[in-house]
Amino acid sequence: MNSDNQRQSVIGAVVDDRTCHLCWEESRYPGRHIAQKHLKKSLYQCPVCQDFGSYESCTIINEKNLWRIHDKDEIIQIVEKVIRENDKLVRKIQKSGAKRHATKLRAAILSECNRRIEADEIIRRKLLSGS
């Protein structure tokens, strides 16, 4: 009976896009609310281990997960994977060293890693030195 009364009051209320239609709780970020409260899912996953998840991207990027849990070699492996997959772009960088090509590769690396890493140093060491 109480549930019916509650439902009636909710139906009578003005419902906007910030109100969850499952629990009728108002939320600033409804997508995050549904993932966290109803689906029990993490919005962000660590791209290296896939075991660590969080509702905020900064938790994965910060030192608690990235540099304390993951070896720098693991991160470099991700960079090498992106370099292998972008062979055409790599050849352009090695041929001309054009900054715009390096920027595209850096963007691909950061996209793959889902976090900021020392991409300039790694690109320079892996590509431009000829090693």
Q: Does 59 map to a domain?
A: no
Residue 131 predicted with pLDDT over 60: no
Overall size of the chain counted in residues: 131
Tell me the residue range of the domain where 122 lies.
71-128
Q: Does 48 map to a domain?
A: no
pLDDT tens, 19-57?
A: 888 888 888 877 777 777 887 776 666 655 555 566 555
Say yes or no: 123 and 75 in one domain: yes
pLDDT tens, 52-79?
A: 566 555 554 554 555 455 566 766 777 7
pTM check: above 0.75:
no
Residue with tokens 């690109």: 123
What is the total count of domains within the chain? Answer: 2
Q: Does 22 map to a domain?
A: yes
Q: Residue 80: helix, strand or coil by DSSP?
A: helix
Q: Does 46 map to a domain?
A: no
Q: Does 9 map to a domain?
A: yes
Least confident window among 63-77, 80-94, 114-128 = 114-128
Q: Does 111 map to a domain?
A: yes
Instruction: For CA atoms 24, 28, 33, 37, give the dihedral sign.
Output: negative
Share of the chain above pLDDT 90, in %: 0
Q: Does 6 map to a domain?
A: yes
